[in-house]
C-alpha cells in the first residue's frame, strides 16, 4: 500500500516538473497525496492538516529561487516542513546518568533497555540495569537473561511487589556504575495508580532522562498517551521500536510533537545490536517510501570503513574480489546486507534472493579463501581456472567447491551492481534518475 502511495506522490511531483510557475492545482494534488501518505503512516491528523496548510501557502507565496525549477522548489519546502516536524535529534551524552524508561504495555521497553545498555557499553561506559517491573511474570527473567549475554549487571527480584522499594535498593546496589537504566512496567495513561507509580519512580531515581518507548505501529492514540506521560514525568526523548516491520512510525511523530523532545533511538530487530541513532532525513525518506543514502553514509562511517568502501566505484561497475573482501569486512560491522540495501535509494527493487543468503559464518569462510588468492587473482577473478582453484582451496584448507561457490556469489554481486550502474547518468550516481526509473517500474 505504501508503495502505491509513494509512487502517487512521485507522480504528483512529476506533474510539477515542467512548469515555469507554481501551479495551484498541481500543488493541491501534491498536498492531497502527501496527506494520504502521512495518514497511512499514522501521523496525527491535526499535524497533517497543519503541515499541508504550511506547504500549500509556502509553495504558492514564496518566490521561486534562482536556478531552481518548480519541482525542486516545492520538494524542498515539503522536505523542510517535514524535518521541522521531527524537531532536533535528542542528545545522548556519554556521562554518568540515570535513565528512566516509560511506555505502553508491549511496546518493547525491556528489549530496548538491554539494547541501550549495550549501546553505552560499546561506547566504553560502565552500565547497570534495574528491573522495576514487578507486575508482569517473567519480566525479571527476560531482562536478566538479556543482560547476562552482554555482561551487564541487572538488579531485580522476581518476588518483589513494591517497585518503589526495589528501585531504592537497586540504586544503592549499583551506585558505582556510570549509566543506570531503569526498566519499568508497561502502563497506559488511563491507569492513575500506575501513572502515580512512575511519577514516584522519577522522584526516587532523580532520573536525568525520561525516555518514552513508542511502538512503530502505534496509531492516532500516540498523541494522547505521549501528552499524559509528558504531563506526569516530563519526557525528554522518544524511542521508536519495531521499525523492522512494515509500520512507518508516524505515531512517534505525534509523540515528538506533544513532548517537544526529539527521537533518541530507533529499534529495528530482535537482537541486542539492532539499535540505531535517529536520523531525521532517513526517517522521513522511509516515512514517504523513498530511499536514503545519507543514513548509509553515516553507517559506513561508524564502521570506520568510509575510506575503504568506495560506493562510487562499485556503482560504476569496478568491482573486484578485493572490493568484495572489503565489503564483507565492512558488512560484518554494519549489519545484514539486506538492511544496507534497504537504505540505498533503489526503492523496492527486488534483488536476487541469494544475495542475502550469505550468513556471517560463510563470510568468514569467503575471507579465508580470498586470503589464499594472489593479488592478480583478486583483481581479475577471470584468471581462476581449475588448477588455481585447487591451489586456493588447499591454501585455505577448503574444497574447490567452496571456491566455486565464492566465485558464483561474486558474479551475482557483480551483476547486481552492474544493474545499478546502468541507471546512473554517465557513471555519476544520479539519485533522481534512479527514483524515476524505479517509480516507472513499479
Partner 1 sequence: MFSGLKERLQAVRNRLGGSIGAVAEAAPPAPAEQAAPSTPATPQKSPTLADKVKILIIDRELVVSAKDIAEALDELEMTLLESDVALPVTDAIIANVRTSLVGKHRKIGESVDALVVGALKSALLNVLGKGFDLPAYIRAHERPVKILFTGVNGTGKTTTVAKIGAYLKKQGFSVVIGAGDTFRAGAIEQIGVHAERLGIKIIEHQTGADPSAVLFDTVQYAVSHKTDVVLADTAGRFHTKANLMSQLDKIRRVMKPDLIVYVDEAVAGNDAVVRAAEFDRTVGADAIVLTKVDMDSRGGAAISIAHTIGKPLLFLGTGQEYEDIVPFDPDAVVEELLGCGA
Question: Which stretches of the chain bind partner 1, using CB under 8 A?
Answer: 1, 36, 39-42, 45, 104-108, 110, 135-143, 145-146, 158, 188-190, 215-221, 225, 242, 244-248, 250-251, 270
Q: CA angle at residue 382 from 377 to 387, to 5 degrees? A: 70
The least distance separating partner 1 from the CB of residue 160, rounded to whole angstroms, comes to: 14
- Length of the chain equals 442
Backbone angles phi, psi at 396, to 5 degrees: -95, 0
Nearer to partner 1, 4 or 304 (CB): 4
Give me the long-range contacts of 360-364 (CB less than 8 A, separation at least 24).
Answer: 360/332, 363/328, 363/331, 363/332
For residue 434, the tally of other CB atoms under 10 A from its CB is 22
Burial class (CB in 10 A: 0-12, 13-18, 19+), 159: exposed
Angstrom distance (rounded) from CA 162 to CA 385:
71
Report phi then psi at 168, rounded to 5.
-55, -45
Q: With helix as H, strand as E and coil as C, how does 342-365 read?
A: HHCCCCCCCCCHHHHHCCHHHHHH
Query: Do residues 137 and 292 make contact, with C-beta atoms less than 8 angstroms apart?
Result: no
Residues 6+ apart with CB under 8 A from 333: 302, 303, 304, 305
Best CA proximity match to 104, nearest among 4, 301, 11, 241:
241
Contact 257, 283 (CB under 8 A): no
Grid cell at residue 225: 498517551
H or E stretch at 164: helix 163-173
Q: Where are the beta strands (DSSP E) in 137-177?
A: 154-155
Q: Are strands 263-267 and 275-277 parallel, antiparallel or unpaired?
A: antiparallel
Strands (E), 62-190: 97-103, 127-131, 154-155, 179-183
41 or 163: CB nearest partner 1: 41
Amino acid at each position: 500500500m505504501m508503495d502505491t502511495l509513494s509512487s502517487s506522490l512521485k507522480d504528483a511531483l512529476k506533474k510539477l516538473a515542467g512548469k515555469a510557475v507554481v501551479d495551484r492545482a498541481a500543488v493541491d494534488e501534491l498536498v492531497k497525496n502527501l496527506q494520504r501518505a502521512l495518514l497511512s503512516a499514522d501521523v496525527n491528523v491535526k499535524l497533517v492538516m497543519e503541515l499541508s496548510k504550511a506547504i500549500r501557502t509556502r509553495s504558492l507565496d514564496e518566490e521561486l529561487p534562482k536556478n531552481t525549477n518548480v519541482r525542486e522548489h516545492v520538494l524542498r519546502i515539503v522536505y523542510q516542513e517535514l524535518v521541522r516536524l521531527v524537531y532536533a535529534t535528542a542528545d545522548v551524552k556519554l556521562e554518568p546518568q540515570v535513565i528512566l524508561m516509560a511506555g505502553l504495555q508491549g511496546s518493547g521497553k525491556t528489549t530496548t533497555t538491554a539494547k541501550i545498555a549495550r549501546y553505552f557499553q560499546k561506547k566504553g561506559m560502565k552500565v547497570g540495569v534495574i528491573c522495576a517491573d514487578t507486575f508482569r511474570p517473567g519480566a525479571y527473567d527476560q531482562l536478566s537473561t538479556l543482560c547476562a549475554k552482554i555482561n551487564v549487571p541487572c538488579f531485580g527480584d522476581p518476588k518483589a511487589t513494591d517497585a518503589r522499594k526495589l528501585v531504592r535498593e537497586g540504586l544503592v546496589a549499583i551506585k558505582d556504575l556510570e549509566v543506570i537504566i531503569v526498566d519499568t512496567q508497561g502502563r497506559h495513561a488511563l491507569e492513575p495508580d500506575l501513572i502515580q507509580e512512575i511519577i514516584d519512580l522519577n522522584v526516587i531515581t532523580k532520573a536525568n532522562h525520561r525516555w518514552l518507548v513508542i511502538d512503530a505501529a502505534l496509531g492516532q492514540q500516540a498523541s494522547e498517551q505521549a501528552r499524559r506521560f509528558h504531563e506526569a514525568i516530563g519526557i525528554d526523548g522518544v524511542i521508536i521500536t519495531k521499525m523492522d516491520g512494515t509500520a512507518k512510525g508516524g505515531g512517534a511523530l505525534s509523540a515528538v510533537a506533544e513532548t517537544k523532545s526529539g527521537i533518541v533511538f530507533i529499534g529495528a530487530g530482535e537482537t541486542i545490536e539492532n539499535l540505531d541513532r535517529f536520523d531525521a532525513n532517513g526517517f522521513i525518506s522511509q516515512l514517504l517510501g523513498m530511499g536514503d543514502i545519507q543514513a548509509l553514509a553515516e553507517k559506513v562511517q561508524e564502521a570506520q570503513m568510509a575510506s575503504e568502501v568506495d560506493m562510487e566505484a562499485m556503482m560504476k561497475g569496478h568491482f573486484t574480489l578485493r572490493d568484495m573482501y572489503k565489503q564483507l569486512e565492512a558488512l560484518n560491522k554494519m549489519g545484514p546486507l539486506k538492511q544496507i540495501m534497504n537504505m540505498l535509494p533503489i526503492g523496492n527493487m527486488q534483488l536476487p534472493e541469494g544475495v542475502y543468503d550469505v550468513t556471517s559464518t560463510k563470510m568468514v569462510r569467503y575471507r579465508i579463501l580470498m586470503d589464499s588468492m594472489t593479488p592478480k587473482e583478486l583483481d581479475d577473478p577471470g584468471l581462476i581456472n581449475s588448477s588455481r582453484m585447487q591451489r586456493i582451496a588447499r591454501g585455505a584448507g577448503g574444497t574447490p567447491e567452496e571456491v566455486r561457490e565464492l566465485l558464483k556469489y561474486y558474479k551475482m554481486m557483480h551483476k547486481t551492481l552492474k544493474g545499478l550502474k546502468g541507471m546512473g547518468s554517465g557513471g555519476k550516481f544520479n539519485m533522481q534518475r534512479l527514483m524515476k526509473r524505479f517509480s516507472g517500474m513499479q
